[in-house]
Amino acid sequence: PKLQVMGLCASASAEGHDEGDATDVANYKILLLGSGGSGKSTICKQITLMYGSGFSKSETEIHTTVIRSNTIGYMQKLLEESERLSEEEEEGKDPSVYTIPEDLRPNMERVMSISRYSDTDHLTEEIAADIAKLWESAPIKAIFQRKGVTLDDNTAYFLDKVNVLGEKNYLASQDDILRNRTRTSGVTLTKFSFNSTPMTLVDVGGQRGERKKWARGIKGCTSVLFIAAISSYDQKIEEDLKTNRITEGLALFEDVCKLPQLEGKSIIVFFNKHDIFLEKIKTIPLTVCEDLKDYTGPPTDPDKAIAHIQEKFFARAGGREIISHVTCAVDSENVRKIFEGVMDKILEETLKGGGLI
Ligand SMILES: Nc1nc2c(ncn2[C@@H]2O[C@H](COP(=O)(O)OP(=O)(O)O)[C@@H](O)[C@H]2O)c(=O)[nH]1
Ligand SMILES: [Mg+2]
């Protein structure tokens, strides 16, 4: 079927508003669910780019500032790890591999002296040069590659281009904005028009503290788009730094599938962060995750490993039929293709079921 995509898009925070309810059939509401960091906001950004006018000037400026200060934070975190590991005896490893050499100490001190909590934009060209130099150094590389450090997924993406970020007139590009982690709380609505049907993506935030807000989003939603980060099998959640992210995602998915309010509504799952997964599976086996311990396939075979993760999710669906795709949310072409296919399919089903007319 040909897809005629048109319309305008607005992204707004609707904290405190009850936007639409079950009687609002003209508005097709897709509820985004999934644990924190799985890629919900990134999907919203992609939809804004695809069906809207792109990121506004003020939005771009905010991202520019956030990216600059996050990037300083990434290096500070690596340097803190260096301090910690230099003092620790670890698995018979010589701690000096993590120690910043004398000649890089002034660079390190300048970067560490920046306050993480100030509003000023500290990423000057000089600081960017300091960070670039440290980023190239062997100890920082060793710490970055060491298992067990919790860093944002796109740390290397931003550190690789820190000199560009430090330029006086740097403005965040579309890709930079897609890669930038912005922690949002409250409900974010992304309105767009697909095939002449007005639609709203509802992002209620996924972290544990946000989940009480779900009830409001579930009311009147037409389908659920659940996002699970397949690459997160070796990571802990930010809320307690203990629970494995896949374990958390599975439990969450099971709860979502059981919600009586969602009976008869389609659930779509995006198995996201495929790009990171492909890199990770080369060195870290799936079995580091307690819930994936029973994987017996070839350790580094990405497709078999993904199929195993998918099976685990489907087993929690309570017999429901699930539409699913493997995605890379920062890749616009990938998201466009998959999203259009999915929308096409669920619109068709809704029409068949008489839900929209
Ligand atoms: N490389 C890569 N990064 C991703 C992907 N999906 C999301 N991210 C990044 O992961 C971080 C968290 O994503 P976000 O959409 O904020 O997660 P949310 O908490 O579910 O809203 C952001 O920095 C995103 O750019 C992906 O498929 N590949
Ligand atoms: Mg988010």
Residue entry with tokens 């898009």: 9
206 belongs to an annotated ligand binding site: yes
Same domain, 203 and 290: yes
Ligand nearest to the CA of residue 38, numbered in listed order: 1
Q: Is residue 62 part of a domain?
A: yes
- Nearest alpha carbon, ligand 1 atom 26: 273
Q: Is residue 328 part of a domain?
A: yes
> For residue 170, what are its two tokens?
């740097």
Residue entry with tokens 């992609």: 46
204 belongs to an annotated ligand binding site: yes
Distance 227 CA to ligand 2 centre (A): 11
Same domain, 328 and 214: yes
Which domain, by its residues, includes 263? 10-37+184-352
Pocket test for ligand 1, best of 279, 330, 338 (most atoms within 8 A of CB): 330
- Nearest alpha carbon, ligand 1 atom 15: 39
> For residue 150, what are its two tokens?
């919790």
Q: Is residue 47 part of a domain?
A: no
Domain count, the chain: 2
What own/partner pairs with CB < 8 Å and gap ≥ 24 does 17-24 have? 18/216, 18/219, 19/187, 19/189, 19/200, 19/202, 20/200, 20/220, 21/219, 21/220, 22/219, 22/220, 23/220, 24/220
What is the band of 353 on the pLDDT scale with cuts at 50, 70, 90? low
Please identify, by atom number, the ligand 1 atom nearest to the C-alpha of residue 32. 20
Q: Look at 73-77, 298-302, 340-344 and tell me which has the smallest mean pLDDT.
A: 340-344
Q: What is the mean pLDDT of residues 306-330?
A: 96
Same domain, 147 and 104: yes
Q: Give the pLDDT of residue 17.
A: 39
Distance in angstroms (rounded) separating the CA atoms of residues 49 and 54:
4
Tell me which amino acid residue 73 is: G
300 belongs to an annotated ligand binding site: no
How big is the CA angle at 337 (ends 22 and 313), to the nearest 5 degrees?
65
- Nearest alpha carbon, ligand 1 atom 22: 181
What is the band of 20 on the pLDDT scale with cuts at 50, 70, 90? very low
329 belongs to an annotated ligand binding site: yes
Distance 229 CA to ligand 1 centre (A): 9
Q: Is residue 1 part of a domain?
A: no
Q: What is the mean pLDDT of residues 74-86?
A: 93
Across the chain, what does the average pLDDT equal?
86
Distance in angstroms (rounded) separating the CA atoms of residues 171 and 165:
8
Ligand nearest to the CA of residue 181, numbered in listed order: 1
Same domain, 147 and 162: yes
Distance in angstroms (rounded) separating the CA atoms of residues 86 and 312:
40
Q: Give the pLDDT of residue 221.
A: 87
- Nearest alpha carbon, ligand 1 atom 7: 39
Give whole-number Cα distances, 339 to 48, 99, 320, in Å: 13, 46, 21
Strand, coil or helix: 342:
helix
Output 175 or 96, whichever has higher pLDDT. Answer: 175
Q: Write the DSSP string, 195-257.
A: TTEEEEEEE---SGGGGGGHHHHHTT-SEEEEEEEGGGGG-B-TTTS-SBHHHHHHHHHHHHH
Q: Give the pLDDT of residue 354.
A: 57
Q: What is the mean pLDDT of residues 260-267?
A: 89
Per-residue pLDDT of 177-212, as tens digits, reads 999 988 777 788 899 988 888 899 999 876 677 667
Please identify, by atom number, the ligand 1 atom nearest to the C-alpha of residue 328. 27
CB 153 within 8 Å of CB 119: no
Q: Is residue 46 part of a domain?
A: no
List the CATH number of the domain containing 226. 3.40.50.300
Please identify, by atom number, the ligand 1 atom nearest to the C-alpha of residue 45. 15
Q: Which residues line ligand 1 (CB under 6 A)?
A: 34, 36-42, 152-154, 178-181, 206, 272-273, 275-276, 328-330
CB 202 within 8 Å of CB 30: yes
Q: Is residue 49 part of a domain?
A: no
Query: How is the chain split among helix, strand and coil, in percent rounded to 5?
Result: 50, 15, 40
Q: Give the pLDDT of residue 355.
A: 52
Distance 303 CA to ligand 2 centre (A): 27
- Nearest alpha carbon, ligand 1 atom 25: 179
Strand, coil or helix: 4:
coil
Q: Is residue 3 part of a domain?
A: no
Same domain, 216 and 339: yes
What is the band of 243 on the pLDDT scale with cuts at 50, 70, 90? very high
Angular region, 311: left φ>0, alpha ψ -120 to 50, beta rest: alpha
Tell me how far apart the 2 most distant CA atoms of the chain are, in Å: 71
Among 145, 163, 178, the domain-final residue is 178
Output 277 or 214, whichever has higher pLDDT. Answer: 277
pLDDT at position 352 over 80? no
Q: Is residue 5 part of a domain?
A: no
Same domain, 214 and 123: no
pLDDT at position 14 over 50? no
Q: Give the pLDDT of residue 89.
A: 67
Give whole-number Cα distances, 163 to 68, 126, 174, 253, in Å: 11, 9, 18, 41
List the CATH number of the domain containing 73. 1.10.400.10
Pocket test for ligand 1, best of 38, 40, 42 (most atoms within 8 A of CB): 42
203 belongs to an annotated ligand binding site: yes
Among the listed residues 94, 60, 100, the one whose alpha carbon sits nearest the alpha carbon of residue 79: 100
41 belongs to an annotated ligand binding site: yes
Q: What is the mean pLDDT of residues 32-52?
A: 92
Same domain, 174 and 268: no
Q: In what order do the strands lie in the sheet with 223-229?
A: 10-13, 188-194, 197-203, 28-33, 223-229, 266-272, 322-326
